[in-house]
Structure 1
Amino acid sequence: MAYTRKDVSTLTGAERRRFVKALLELKRRGEYDEFVRTHIDYYVSDGDGGLRTAHMAPSFLPWHRRFLLDLEQALRRVDSSVTVPYWDWTRDRSATAAPWTKDLLGGNGRRSDHQVTTGPFAYATGDWTIKENVTDGRFLTRDLGRAAAPIGLPTRSDVDRALQDPVYDVEPWDSTVTRGFRNKLEGWGTGSGSAAWRNHNRVHRWVGGLMLGGASVNDPVFWLHHAFVDLLWTRWQRRHREHRYLPAEPPGPTSRQYRRVVARQEKLPPWDVTPDQLEDVSRIYRYA
């Protein structure tokens, strides 16, 4: 029977406590840091050689869908009642509303060094020391809204512009495409400054701190953010039922994306699963 992922703003006090407790237990066991390392390892950009799976590629959505499932399964081994909630950043846009409460993820970082000092993931608790990172920082950091260079969260109309595109992705299957649902949601734009960051990417920028870059999994909000991104993919799938993941076939030897992107029936590293197998997860979970 499928379980339910809920809007984080609707969680009861008990549900919040159980979710946080399960996350902290994964961290204590060392399992959580393995998720951080995996994301760092698979954060490959257009400019790098080889296969891209997690970002700047068609498999951005199925890769993170499977990544979320792995984390959720780990949480449910700790507490079978727990599921990953989603943060609807088109609606809950305040830096003091859920999920930024003391009983959930804690609040913004302090002005001096962006260190998060409130909530269960504050460094002072001793329960959330950063161990896998691209720098030497040991504490969780945030800069909600970027005080020095303010940026706003994406709006519902920003999301609608992505959902309206009936095509999943287009050549050259990277961060430069201006058509296709995948990159309109992932959010690699053109130009410079805040206009270059849209939807998914813009949320990472708005949160700031450790949410910038490959080590973003160190902030538990990563999962709530990507659960909402996954929910948006399910909405796109319902709206455009005749359209599917692209490319359907691997780019040929003459393409600059040869062996650099995953086609629909190809295995999606690091798992033994294909994007095709991840398109329908209705038997596993649903969204409230």
Structure 2
Amino acid sequence: MARIRRNVWSLAQPWDPVLLWYARGVQVLKTRPFADVTSWRYLAAIHGVEEQIWREFGWLKPAEHLPQTPEFKKQDQGQCQHHGWYFVPWHRGYLAAFEAIVRAAIEKLPGAPKDWALPYWDYNSKAVANPRLLPEAFAKNVWPDGGDNPLFDKRRYGRGDGVVVIRPEDVDTKTALTDGQFEGVTNGSPGFGGVRTPFQHDADRDHEGWLEQVPHDVVHGRVGGSQAGQDPNDWRSAGLMSMPETAGLDPIFWLHHANIDRLWEVWRKRDASHKNPVLSSWLNGPAGRHKFILPQPNGTRKQFAPKDMLDTTAPGLNYVYEDISDPFAGQQRLSARLRTLSMAIPGAQGVAGPEVSSVAKKPTVELLGANAKAVMLSNAPTSTTIKVDKPTARKVTNSFKMNEFTARSVPEPDRVFLNLENITSDNNAAVFDVYVGLPEGADPAAHPDNRAGVVSLFGARAATNMAKPHGGSGMTKVLEITDTIDRLHLSGNADLSNLSVLFVPVSSVGAGGVSIKRVSIYRQSS
């Protein structure tokens, strides 16, 4: 029978047996030497590792070094997949290996359960008033067994003082779950799962999907944060969860990723048109020497591919989630105008979603316009203006003009995307909101409809590193602004040829800590 991964908020707080046994298992793994492939540090280093950082943070003793085995040096360290379409299947395999190793450690302890499964942190749960709080078992350095709590970590800075504050908009899953395509396109919609990429550990080619952008990246930045009073651009001030090189060392990492994995199941099950890629280049994993290989409880290492990760009840996985219900009751992604029309016209409701979400052919993406120079963000709101090509803009507005609407055919208008290109920064914990088309001098908080979304720079430091293959070109973030452009067009008061974009810091950015080389807008037509 498949084991059940349960929502941490459906467990008794703070020390339900599931969490207590997790802490005991973590404690066992932390006692094992680094070179042991089932140790806490070895498993974390698979996600990412940098010797200088680990030494500074106390995870390497003065006389210690990283494991010197060929397997670790050539294959295991820094294997995690980010910023591309292998993100969700690789992390599913990673979680499964970790869960099996922790379970094996637990089962050797007196009175241990035989069906323990890793819980997940549902930060949108309805079970408690504020599910975005850090569960208490992780927040305090006390636990029933005495001594230091294995689930607590002092380098979890949150807003700067150790208190984790996550806003509802930081974990809004609607964009990810209502996009019907797994694979995205460059400059347009990145899709649920990302744009096609080869093996990709760092953000040298930045093509992360909606799920990886929000809530994955944002939760990393909001939990890890950076230490108050220190330079956020200095990695020494960063929390563990803020950096891919250290994130796996924080016990909350695994519950966060269990929820990300659960959301893949939610996306897949909520609509019959939601399909995983069927291309062999995705199903079989990266070509060449880069293979996905992870440790097993007996100390061996096992190779896997995305095709092995499609059924959570299959041998080697053998789990289900307590809740994979649809939080949006079958809604599909529709423009503001289409939603309005579908509500107004009898018989139209319930048919728009499947029509719109089942686009099969590859969409066309075209540049609408861009700003004139790089933008340097600071701790104060920063703005730029995009010059939009008028003939191309007319294609967008013409697509919004619908002359017919029937229950059998729903012509979808163009989608519009804001691209923040070549973002460079050493501040992995930076988080900022983006607003489009605000009236001059307006208070952003008073115009929620102009908010394009939230951006986290989790992984930016590595993407900015000049020693990387792409020469520190940074990362690119994509935000959909179709509804905002539609509303501005309908109002008739906005100048769409000169579109303002405002960046509002949510966390400390630091002086000159973030550069965006270009801010551009693209239209995507189906």
Q: What TM-score, normalized to structure 2? A: 0.39
Pick from 263, 270, 284: which aligns with 1:265? 284
Deviation at 1:71, TM superposition (A): 0.7
Q: Say whether 1:3 aligns with 2:19.
A: no
Deviations 1:86-118 (A, max 9, x none): 11112468599552x1xx2124xxxxxxxxxx2
* Distance verdict in 2 for CA 1:7–1:220, change over 3 Å: same
2:212 to 186, 199, 212: 186
After superposition, the C-alpha distances for 1:157-202 in whole angstroms (9 at most, x for unaligned) are 8202210111112244xxx663301211100xxxxxxxxxx31100
Report 1:121-132 matches (<5 A): 125=148
Local SS of the residue matching 1:181: coil
1:225 Cα offset (Å)? 0.3
Bigger helix share:
1
Q: Which residue number in structure 1 is paired with residue 103 of structure 2?
A: 76
Matched, 1:211 2:241: yes
Instruction: Determine the C-alpha separation between the residues in 1 that align with 2:139 and 2:271.
Output: 38
- Alignment counterpart, residue 169 of structure 1, candidates 183, 186, 191: 183
The CA deviation string for residues 129-178 of structure 1, in whole angstroms up to 9 with x for no partner, is 9xxxxxxxxx6411224569x97445498202210111112244xxx663
Contact kept, 8 Å, 2:47 with 2:80, in 1: the verdict is no
CA distance in 2: counterparts of 1:210 and 1:6, whole angstroms: 25
Is 1:142 matched up with 2:176? no
* 1:177–1:264 CA distance, 2 compared to 1 (3 A): farther
Q: In the aligned structure 1, how far is the partner of 2:149 from the partner of 2:7?
A: 28
Q: Distance in 1 between matches of 2:277 and 2:180?
A: 12
Q: Deviations over 1:178-234 (max 9, x none)?
A: 3301211100xxxxxxxxxx3110000110111011210111000010001011000
Q: Which of 78, 88, 94 is the aligned partner of 2:122?
A: 88
Q: Note the alpha carbon deviations across 1:10-50, whole angstroms, 9 max, x for none.
A: 224323211111111111124111111111159xxxxxxxx
Q: 1:212 to 1:156 in 2, by over 3 A?
A: closer
Going from structure 1 to structure 2, the CA distance change for 1:38 and 1:226 (only over 3 Å counts) comes to: same
Show structure 1 runs of 5+ residues with no match: 43-50, 108-117, 130-138, 188-197, 251-262
Aligned to 1:221: 252
Any conservation in 2 of the 1:169–1:180 contact (CA below 8 Å)? yes
Distance 1:228 1:240 in 2: 19
Question: Residue 93 of structure 1 contacts residue 153 of structure 1 at CA under 8 Å; is this kept in 2?
Answer: no
> How far does residue 85 in structure 1 lie from its aligned partner after superposition?
0.6
- Counterpart position of 2:89: 62
Q: Tell me the secondary structure at the aligned position of residue 143 of structure 1.
A: coil
Unaligned stretches of 5+ in structure 2?
34-38, 51-77, 107-113, 194-208, 225-238, 295-302, 323-526
Counterpart contact for 1:4–1:285, Cα < 8 Å: yes
Change in CA separation of 1:168 and 1:21 when aligned onto 2, cut-off 3 Å: same
Task: Give the structure 2 partner of residue 158 of structure 1.
Answer: 172
Q: What is the rounded CA distance, in whole Å, between the counterparts of 2:119 and 2:45 in structure 1?
A: 22
- CA gap 1:95/1:232 in 2 versus in 1, 3 angstroms: closer
Moved more, 233-242 or 68-77: 233-242
1:282 to 308, 313, 321: 313
Say which is worse superposed, 223-232 or 86-95, in terms of deviation. 86-95
What percent of counterpart residues are identical? 26
For 2:217, what is the secondary structure of its paired residue? helix
Shift of the 128–10 alpha-carbon distance from structure 1 to 2, 3 Å rule, reads closer
8 Å contact kept, 2:151–2:252: no
1:22 to 25, 44, 50: 25
Radius of gyration: which is bigger? 2
The alignment's C-alpha RMSD in Å is 3.2
Q: Secondary structure at the match of 1:74?
A: helix
Q: Which moved more, 1:64-73 or 1:152-161?
A: 152-161
Aligned partner of 2:192: which letter? Answer: F
Task: Select the structure with the greater relative contact order (CA < 8 A; seq sep ≥ 6).
Answer: 1
Q: Alignment partner of 1:66: what SS?
A: helix
Summarize deviations over 1:51-89 as a string: whole Å, max 9, x none: 985100101001110110011001110223421111111
Q: Distance in 2 between matches of 1:275 and 1:246?
A: 10
Structure 1 residues 128, 7: CA separation in 2 closer, same or farther (over 3 Å shift)?
closer
- Range that drifts further, 223-232 or 238-247: 238-247
In structure 2, the partner of 1:237 is 268
Q: Distance in 1 between matches of 2:132 and 2:218?
A: 19
Distance 2:129 2:46 in 1: 29
Indicate the SS of the match to 1:270: strand
Letter in 2 for 1:221: I
Match of 2:138 among 97, 105, 109: 105
Q: Quickly say closer, same or farther: Cα 1:119–1:211, change in 2 above 3 A.
A: farther
The secondary structure found in structure 2 opposite 1:56 is coil
Matched to 1:66, the amino acid is G
8 A contact 1:245–1:275 mirrored in 2: no
